[in-house]
């Protein structure tokens, strides 16, 4: 199967290792722990009114979903260095845009997978409407993307610099 650039998630070695470790923990010790919680709650009797059982089953469902997400992400991941400072917007870059060319109405964000998301900087996926619109554009260029209401929005690329984490 050939992967297109939209299918690939670029990760630094550090991010890849962190996600791989999380997957190993969730697939091993954490999975065993939630299984034990469910077994212990089952022994308490009537499952219809057993809050501990239902909480453990919900935790198990969330955990299994995260395992599937991580597995899929890591299967498609390409490990590499952060992009070079070329002035071209690409995943792994901190991008500053001006809405409708208004230099007073700006937004700075990291163009990256949500796995990079942190409280330090807002993160937009390269597959999001805004991410798709700005990806590949050069500093100074205008980009358009589709709003949820179907209208087009225009932004100007002011800066594109490698994310330093």
Quick: pLDDT tens for 64-96: 999 998 898 888 777 766 566 778 888 878 899
Computed on alpha carbons and rounded to an integer, the radius of gyration of the chain in Å comes to 21
- CATH code of the domain made up of 9-79: 1.10.287.180
CATH of 93-162, one of 3.40.190.120, 3.10.50.30, 3.40.190.10, 3.40.50.2300: 3.10.50.30
pLDDT attached to residue 1? 34
pTM, 2 dp: 0.56
Which one is predicted more confidently, 152 or 101? 152
pLDDT attached to residue 50? 81
Task: Catalogue the E-assigned strands of the chain.
Answer: 9-11, 77-79, 93-99, 106-111, 123-124, 142-146, 152-162
Rounded Cα gap, residues 142 and 122, in angstroms: 21
Summarised one tens digit per residue, pLDDT across range 104-138 is 788 998 888 766 655 677 888 888 899 999 999 99
Domain residue ranges in the chain: 9-79, 93-162
Size of the chain, expressed as the number of residues it contains: 165
């Amino acid at each position: 199967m050939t992967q297109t650039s939209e299918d690939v998630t670029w990760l630094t070695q550090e991010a890849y290792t962190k996600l791989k470790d999380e997957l190993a923990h969730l697939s091993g010790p954490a999975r065993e722990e939630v299984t034990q919680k469910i077994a212990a709650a089952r022994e308490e009797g009537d499952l219809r009114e057993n809050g501990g059982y239902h909480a453990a089953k919900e935790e198990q469902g969330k955990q299994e979903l995260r395992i599937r997400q991580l597995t899929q992400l890591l299967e498609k991941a390409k490990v590499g260095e952060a992009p070079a400072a070329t002035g071209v917007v690409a995943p792994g870059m901190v991008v500053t845009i001006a809405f409708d060319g208004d230099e007073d109405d700006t937004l700075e964000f990291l163009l990256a997978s949500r796995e990079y998301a942190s409280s330090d900087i807002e993160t937009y996926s390269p597959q999001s409407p805004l991410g798709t619109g700005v990806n590949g554009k050069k500093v100074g260029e205008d980009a358009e993307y589709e709003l949820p209401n179907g209208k087009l929005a225009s932004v100007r690329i002011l800066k594109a610099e490698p994310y330093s984490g």
